[in-house]
Amino acid sequence: APVIVTPRGMQPRLRGDTLEYNTAHVRTRVNATIEELLMRLPGVQIDQNGNITVNGQKIEKLLVDGEDFFGGSTTTVTRNFNADMIAKVQVLDRKSKKARFTGVDDGQRTKTMNLVLKEDSKQGYLLKAEAGGDTQGYHNLNGILGSFKGNRQFAVLGMLSNTGLTNVEDNVQDMQSNINIGGSGSDALGASAGQGIPRVKGAAVHYANR
């Protein structure tokens, strides 16, 4: 029968009600993803859809430095960010948002994994853009550009459209922000009163230091 040897340094430690892995002892290939790192930790398993289980219990929420990241989309984090950004991996039963806010324990718990970043990894940029058009002159362009370093966060969202799209919002969860731009682009006459195709423009800016 095969024998699996686990280095002592990779064994998790229990700190209060939190199971903690020190990933400094885990070796991965250059540019390995966080998912590859997690698969090397004792008791951690990941299926083909990116669902994570620890000691047989499914992880319901993934946090980065205690904050929701990209709306809780696990694979966005684990398959697109480098393993060498992570200092520690924590697993805990997190209290409900209401209980954390009021201090009154309602008994509700969510199995949660928290990825603790190295200090020199708390900076970066994000860019997302969408564009489309056709031969009839219709077009749609929208996108977001953001940056973060330490506690400082900055993002810009913009849109330009004549397709009837009048509202764009983007959840920048890693920056703890919801950016929303929009307006009323209804066309009661259905033909812009002979003035051509309705055009909608909009922009939003977000800055925080927290």
DSSP 202: E
Closest to 148 measured CA to CA, from 208, 196, 96:
208
Q: According to the model, what pLDDT value does residue 188 have?
A: 46
Closest to 85 measured CA to CA, from 58, 124, 125:
124
In angstroms, the CA 69 to CA 163 distance is 31
In angstroms, the CA 158 to CA 169 distance is 10
Count the neighbouring beta carbons within 10 Å of the beta carbon of residue 78: 22
14 class by beta-carbon count within 10 Å (0-12 exposed, 13-18 middle, 19+ buried): exposed
Query: What are residue 145's DSSP bridge partners?
Result: 127, 156
Helix (H) or strand (E) holding 183: none
Closest to 86 measured CA to CA, from 34, 46, 49:
34
Q: What is the mean pLDDT of each run of 10 residues along the chain (210 residues)?
A: 52 86 86 93 92 93 81 79 92 83 80 90 79 83 81 82 64 48 49 59 81
Q: According to the model, what pLDDT value does residue 159 have?
A: 83
Q: According to the model, what pLDDT value does residue 191 have?
A: 47
Q: Which residues contact 8 (CB under 8 A, 6 or more apart)?
A: none
Query: What are residue 69's DSSP bridge partners?
Result: none
In angstroms, the CA 29 to CA 8 distance is 20
pTM over 0.85: no
Q: According to the model, what pLDDT value does residue 52 have?
A: 95
Q: According to the model, what pLDDT value does residue 176 have?
A: 46
Structure tokens of 127? 């860019």
- In degrees and rounded to multiples of 5, residue 24 shows phi and psi of -65, -20
Count the neighbouring beta carbons within 10 Å of the beta carbon of residue 200: 20
